[in-house]
Amino acid sequence: MTGKNSKPPVTPDQILLALAPQLRELFDGVHQVELEHFSMEIGDLELFIPTTGFGTTNAAHAALSHPFATKPIDLIREPYTPMAYSFPGKIREVTLGATKAEGGSRSHSLVIGGATMPAYFDRTRPPVHSPVISLDVFDMPVNLPKVLRENVADVMDDPAEWAKMNVNKFGADVVTIHLMSTDPLFRNASPATAVKTVEEILQAVDVPLIIGGCGDPKKDAEVFTAVAEMADGERLLINSVTLDMATSKTLGRVATAARDHGHVLLAFTGLDLNNAKELNRRLYEYIPPEQVVMDLTTVALGYGLEYSFTIHERARYAALMGDNELAHPVISAATNAWAAREAWMKMPPVFGSRELRGPVWETINAITLLLAGIDLFLMMHPAAVLTLKELIPRLGNTGTASPDQIADWVGVRL
Amino acid sequence: MSSENPPPVGKKRKSIKEISPIDAYKLLPKTNCGECREANCMAFATRLVNGELMLADCPPLHTLEYQDSLENLSHLMAPPVRTVTIGTGDRAIMIGGKYVLQRHDFTYHNPSPIAIDVHDLMPEAELLERIRHIEQFSYNYIGRTLVLNAIALRSVSGDPVTFSRAVQRVAAASTLPLILCTLDPAVMQAGLSEVSRRRPLMYAATEANWKQMAEIALAHKVPLAVFAPGNPALLRSLVRTLMEYGLHDLVLDPGTFGDDGLSDTVSNFTEIRAAACKQFDELFGFPLLGVPLTVWTGAELSEDVLKWKEAITASILLSRYADMLIMHSMDGWVLLPQLIWRFNLYTDPRKPVSVEAGVKTFGRPDPRSPVLITTNYALTYFTVESDIKAANLDCYLIVVDTGGLSVESAVAGRYFTADAISHALKNYDVGSLVSHTTLIIPGLAARLSGETEEATGWKILVGPKDSSGIPQFLREHWQPENEYK
């Protein structure tokens, strides 16, 4: 197999640079590295991991060879057929956004989910629906790390313009509007104000939308209900419903509104599959399972990404093995990568500029969870987004390796 | 999960999850001698199958009397992916030794070492400078020092004398484990004879050179990598042949394709590891070597773009079963995420993610010292602890039991609440420690400040969102003279 066929007219990084001109600067390294002394004391901690595994002896393995046997003269050809694995379960398919014909106003809808295999587990079965990417918009000024802020500084006061930029410039498949201003502890903006913001975004862009709340179970219920009514038929993804809402007796109201007006619910739980299942069971009382997506929590690289990685691997395997309560598409807020200080902090020069460290942090956060089965990402940095958009089709396209290209990597002068 | 064809090679074995303490107990001496410091052999067996103790922890097993038991136990407990040791002494690295495909099924052992390349045509000063960087690169992460682990010396010259000289230089400059990289057996022979006692990894046997490489590896008793890019069937054939040749310390390189072929790379690594862990396929039961460096052999791109690609390829390989990596970029922004992700991935997923709640004392606090509060998520706690210690602060830190959730999650999930803070202040009798009633809460819990003042009667100061800002925050906002009761 050679790599001659299906060469794109331009290379991916040309696309990367063309789509995000500010990256040219970035990659050309014109940014000054800012220095700041940064150090941590080594504590004397006993945590987590054994640095070595178990000792083992060769006696443990059934020896194929015998000390006095004749050494082979020719290569012994060993037959090899890759194992064909199959799973009884399947992840539900969930449609986001609705076109005019479907009762909404989007230019197209998107389907996520549908997996019958763990992600990228079997080369003959790439993802049924390619994972998609949503870019964030906030409805009020928020504290963003410098490296994120500089890409969107011009539009931060105008959510509609911000949404447009996300779609037109950065290639967002979906836009998330975070209605932070509704938080009773911040501006306590009214549901009517939130509805107006969502209307503006619906006007500004024609991709499917995700509606983010403020995290207060009561206020979110009011806001989500009002938005669901206004955007009847748009198949918004409502981010999110929680067990807290069940406790504050607002879950039914939101779920009913989503059902009656044709939207999808994002069920958020904190790294706990029992809670995820419990929340889903409660939602099934109100809404068809095909209108439920899960957020199992994304933690930043360095701050617990391994918990997110493992909970997603466990959830996906359990679902494919037949646990229907977990057989929902999953989202990851890869933007959370920026919670890691290593992503945004000025560090000694040996660790490179944060202009590169930050985006690579978000990118690796996302890719790691892509391998664990994420169907939809919430992201922010253009370089991270472009890398994922280029990588996702490439990961689903086997048979493109050209062994000649790397056959002599050992002897290449770099 | 079901598979349609029968296991290719290997007899019926139990996976680590199926081995019961009884299985292990039956093969132990059953004398309850206590030399392992466990109460009895059954307790030892339980911890053995849990991965907490090793066979080496039972001294009697290693006497002549229990020779057969040891062999049977070794067989029972052997990981489906063998362990291969590279290097000698304190800095030797063990690779492989994996029991499971997914970490949640047990835990991953032997964090993948990262080797950085140098080559034999580098001017001596450049070579030594690069080695110095490799040796010195480190990052302190929640109390652990994360470092690079090996040097991969490539023969670019193709000349035995040049390679041999470079091997001597590298060996003299560093005691890190070595990987000698050349596909030419004559060059390998010349280089290896200089350092074979340091047990370097030979890279690599291929379809073209396997016989000569096998002879060299046998003669010097060193581990050998097997390279069959994009061709798992050939890889199996080579492994089979080399095992027949008498070699057992093999490392498999199925080829790393960072651009076109990335999908094949992920598929090959996954197939091979699944065959070893799920089917006990012995020919694939060896450590896997990933070479993100290969992105540098592709299209001519700007250096930063190549580094970017190498960073991404490396992180994918760490998550997808690579037991060792060879990389080229020395940039911190490329390496740091790999070192941290490797550390995270190899933590034991069965261990709790929380630390004990309570009041921690730092430095020598007095009644005027600040009182801070955080959650008991391990990473949150250790990050805050690191920052406080680094700045030599004298203070109290209250750790609230949030079920192991971070501040942000615990606030959102209502585990870190005004009531929880109030309970902690009372339960730990914090009022008796200090003469003031001011509490500094995390910036990420800012929204709780009003409710908490009401619930506790303490004055609440909202601290920084990131604990690295604590020292500066205290300098600017902590004025104990105004805080007396």
CA distance A103 to A100: 5
Q: With beta carbons under 8 A apart, name residues in chain B contacting A305.
A: 341, 344
Contact B97 A303 (CB under 8 A): no
Q: With beta carbons under 8 A apart, name residues in chain A contacting B2.
A: 85-86
Across chain A, mean pLDDT equals 86
pLDDT at residue B14 in the model: 86
Q: Binning pLDDT at 50, 70 and 90, where does residue A31 land?
A: very low
> For B312, which residue in chain A has the nearest alpha carbon?
A364
Is residue A4 included in any domain, yes or no? no
Interface mutation target, options A30, A44, A56, chain B, most CBs of B under 10 Å: A56
Write out the residue limits of the CATH 3.20.20.20 domain(s) in chain B: 83-345
Give the pLDDT mean for A126-142.
95
Give the pLDDT mean for B138-153.
93
Give the pLDDT mean for A83-104.
96
Q: What is the CATH number of the domain that holds A215?
A: 3.20.20.20
pLDDT at residue A54 in the model: 37
Question: Among the residues of A66-181, which ranges form H helices?
Answer: 146-152, 159-168
CA distance A316 to A335: 22
Q: Is the pLDDT of residue A3 over 50?
A: no
pLDDT tens, position by position, A265-282: 999 998 889 999 999 999
Residue-range definition of the domain harbouring residue A315:
93-395
Q: With beta carbons under 8 A apart, name residues in chain B contacting A270.
A: 405, 409, 412-413
- What ipTM describes this predicted complex? 0.86
Is residue A400 included in any domain, yes or no? no
Q: Is the alpha carbon torsion for A165, A167, A168, A170 positive or negative?
A: positive
Contact B260 A299 (CB under 8 A): no
> For B344, which residue in chain A has the nearest alpha carbon?
A306
CATH class of B83-345: alpha beta
> For B79, which residue in chain A has the nearest alpha carbon?
A56
> For B256, which residue in chain A has the nearest alpha carbon?
A406
> For A403, which residue in chain B has the nearest alpha carbon?
B229
pLDDT at residue B1 in the model: 53
CA-wise closest residue to A303 among A338, A272, A333, A274: A338
Q: Binning pLDDT at 50, 70 and 90, where does residue B10 land?
A: very low
Q: For B263-339, where are the E strands, in sequence order?
A: 289-290, 324-327
Report yes or no: B438 and B371 within 8 Å, Cβ to Cβ.
yes
CA separation (Å) from A25 to A17, A151, B309?
A: 9, 12, 17
pLDDT tens, position by position, A387-410: 999 999 999 888 888 898 899 999
pLDDT tens, position by position, B97-125: 999 999 999 999 999 999 999 999 999 99
Report yes or no: B189 and B164 within 8 Å, Cβ to Cβ.
no
CA angle centred on B178, ends B177 and B182, rounded to 5°: 165
Half-sphere exposure in the Cβ direction for B296 (13 Å, CA): 20
Tell me which residue in A59, A303, A398 faces B264 most closely, judged by beta carbons: A398
> For A394, which residue in chain B has the nearest alpha carbon?
B263
Q: With beta carbons under 8 A apart, name residues in chain B contacting A275.
A: none
Interface mutation target, options A61, A310, A361, A406, chain B, most CBs of B under 10 Å: A406
Number of independent structural domains in chain A: 1
pLDDT at residue A408 in the model: 94
In angstroms, the separation between the Cα of residue A302 and the nearest Cα of chain B is 6
Give the pLDDT mean for A105-115.
97
> Which CATH superfamily includes the segment(s) B21-77?
Electron transport complex subunit B, putative Fe-S cluster (1.10.15.40)
pLDDT tens, position by position, A209-259: 999 999 889 999 999 999 999 999 999 999 999 998 999 999 999 999 999
Q: Long-range pairs for A273-280 at CB < 8 Å and ≥24 separation?
A: A273/A311, A273/A314, A273/A315, A273/A318, A273/A326, A275/A243, A276/A315, A276/A325, A276/A326, A277/A323, A277/A325, A277/A326, A278/A243, A279/A241, A279/A242, A279/A243, A279/A246, A280/A325, A280/A326, A280/A328
Contact A364 B334 (CB under 8 A): no
Tell me which residue in B74, B246, B263 faces A59 most closely, judged by beta carbons: B74
Contact B386 A411 (CB under 8 A): no
Is residue A135 included in any domain, yes or no? yes
Instruction: Give the number of other CB atoms < 10 A from CB of residue B428.
Output: 17
Is residue A206 included in any domain, yes or no? yes
CA distance A407 to B257: 10
Contact A368 B238 (CB under 8 A): no
Contact B244 A304 (CB under 8 A): no
Q: What's CA B406's distance to the chain center, in Å? A: 23
Write out the residue limits of the CATH 3.40.50.11600 domain(s) in chain B: 358-482
Tell me which residue in B305, B387, B468 faces A13 most closely, judged by beta carbons: B305
What 3-state DSSP class applies to A174?
Answer: strand
Is residue A238 included in any domain, yes or no? yes
Is residue A74 included in any domain, yes or no? no
Q: pTM score, two decimals?
A: 0.86
pLDDT tens, position by position, A360-381: 999 999 999 999 999 999 999 9
What 3-state DSSP class applies to A344?
Answer: helix
Write out the residue limits of the CATH 1.10.15.40 domain(s) in chain B: 21-77
Domain B358-482: which topology?
Rossmann fold (3.40.50)
Q: What's CA B190's distance to the chain center, in Å? A: 33
